[in-house]
Amino acid sequence: MERKMEENTVRDVETGSETGGEDALVGNVNKLMVSPPGYSGAPRKGHLVFDACFESGNLGRVDYISEFEFDLFIRPDTCNPRFRVWFNFTVENICETQRVIFNVVNFSKTKSLYRDGMSPVVKSTSRPKWQRLPAKNVYYYRCPDHRRNYVMSFAFCFDREDDVYQFAYCYPYTYSRLQHYLSSLERRNLPYLQREQLGLSVQQRRLDLLTITNPEHHSGLEREKKLVFLTARVHPGESPASFICQGVIDFLVSQHPVAQVLRDHVIFKIVPMLNPDGVYLGNYRCSLMGFDLNRHWQDPSPWAHPTLHAVKQLIVQMNQDPRVSLEFYIDVHAHSTMLNGFMYGNVFEDEERVQRQAVFPRLLCQNAPDFSFSNTSFNRDVVKAGTGRRFLGGLLDDTSYCYTLEVSFYSYTTAGSTAPVPYTEETYMKLGRNVARTFLDYYKLNNLIKDSRPIYIQSSEVRPHTDDSNGKDEGVGRDAADREREKSHGVRH
């Protein structure tokens, strides 16, 4: 606990306030019917029923203000009252055309992309594809009724009586979805993909490790192959990281000529979900026991931080193996106050090393229209000392590069435009595909592409894998601009 107290004394501008008070809620609402005060008759249509007792759900309390207005309280991360950001809940028993205002009243952060037009996402039983609420229906303001806390209010009109509606901070990507996706990949028996269980979380969930490379290199790693290590979801509420990670995996296991060349020359090791308990529980930043795992890389405990401990052991072991050239460590996150994709890197005394470290983000900027090199920064902030990027930056030798890849929870702007384009599940995955593609440029392997097609990745060339056995499609639709581009390139489906 000493280390835990220490962690709380350093103020981290990215995390939020440290107040608990009335917000120290425990547990999610469970099929909670919210009737007018004093009402004692039979439940009626329009008495809303709220529920967050499901995987990745989060809603701690609902207060009835009027028949049109409800105050919603986020349940803090388990064992840590400091973090209240992620929400994910359902509403049912509505009246057709019932209009409501929901006020989310206890965010632990004040700065938010809600100031810049971000809005929650919604889906319903008859419309299962997530969509963002119109920005004009969302208000973010300092509220005198709630101790001058920042409140996010959104207006919504229910339109189908029998639907169950679900609202979330961002597109959820659950532990079960990951397991379903990895199982469907495994069933394809790809010779260049290996899945193994690297360990278990405190609550005994799988810590998966994927190795993607050509089969003759699975055993006895050979000197001439480079190794790239990628991790995601150390912060469980940062769900866009999982879409990026899936985009990387989908691309690397595809038949795209760039992917084939990369598998010949590089070993990719990917841990898609570092904090499976936190994801499952609907936490924003912490594990089951209230630890921000990304502050514990220096000395992870096998019982308190088992997933981190297992990954760190593997990286240290590979780093000591003379046959392994561990060149990249990239940890994928999502950012709640900035736009675009961007990176954090480390600061070095050696100017040449500083320049070399900037190469990958510069190349990624050329490949991904939503990636911002100007937002990319290199730092040695004391608060970040226990992060994967900082710890491994100190452990690995000077030919290795450690980055945090961040992507906005909300949107990106492209060169020459100021209009923000909201991210979708598909555009997050596309950023992942572009990250994978950038290793081709980094290692200057372009001349090995045998195919004469343009090697810029169109979204049709790498379709997110779908598992037809149960009729569920893990992939998501493509936007109109993609379809236009595909037509112009003559890409066949």
Give CA–CA dist 315/74, Å, rounded. 36
Phi, psi of 104 (to 5 degrees): -85, 110
Among candidate residues 406, 425, 426, 486, the one labeled active-site is: 406
pLDDT at 349: 85
Q: So what's the pLDDT on residue 348? A: 85
In this structure, which amino acid lies at residue 135? Answer: A
Side chain identity, residue 52? A
Model confidence pLDDT, tens digit, residues 94-132: 999 999 999 999 999 999 999 999 999 999 999 999 999
Q: Are 306 and 380 in contact (CB under 8 A)?
A: no
Of 433, 177, 168, the residue nearest 280 (C-alpha) = 177
The pLDDT of residue 15 is 37
Burial class (CB in 10 A: 0-12, 13-18, 19+), 245: buried
Distances (CA, A) of 24 to 18, 27, 87, 103, 249: 11, 10, 15, 18, 38
22 as an active site residue: the answer is no
Single out the residue of 460, 409, 468, 337 nearest to residue 172, CA to CA: 409
Specify the pTM.
Answer: 0.86
399: burial class by Cβ within 10 Å (0-12, 13-18, 19+)? Answer: exposed
SS3 (DSSP) at 310 = helix
Interatomic CA distance for residues 370 and 479, integer angstroms: 15
Helix (H, G, I), strand (E, B) or coil at 4: helix
The C-alpha atoms of residue 440 and residue 231 are separated, in whole angstroms, by: 20
pLDDT of 89 reads: 98
Rg (CA), the chain: 23
DSSP 77: B
Q: Give pLDDT < 50 ranges for the chain.
A: 1-23, 217-223, 451-493
Amino acid in the structure at residue 100: V
What integer pLDDT is reported at residue 489 of this predicted model? 38
pLDDT of residue 374: 94
| CB-count burial class (<10 Å; 0-12, 13-18, 19+) for 232 | buried
How many whole angstroms from its chain centre is CA 364?
A: 19
CA distances from 237 to 4, 241, 247, 325, 354 (A): 20, 9, 18, 32, 31
Three-state SS at 1: coil
DSSP secondary structure, 78-146, as one string: TTBTT-----EEEEESPPTT-EEEEEE---S-S--GGGGT---EEEETTEEEEEEPPGGGEEEEE-GGG
Nearest Cα to Cα of residue 156 among 116, 112, 123? 123
Contact 19, 8 (CB under 8 A): no
Give the residue from 64, 69, 59, 57 showing the smallest Cα distance to 29: 59
Tokens read off for 345: 């890197």
If we measure between CA atoms, which residue out of 154, 47, 179, 29 comes closest to residue 103? 154
Tens of pLDDT, residues 171-182: 999 999 999 999
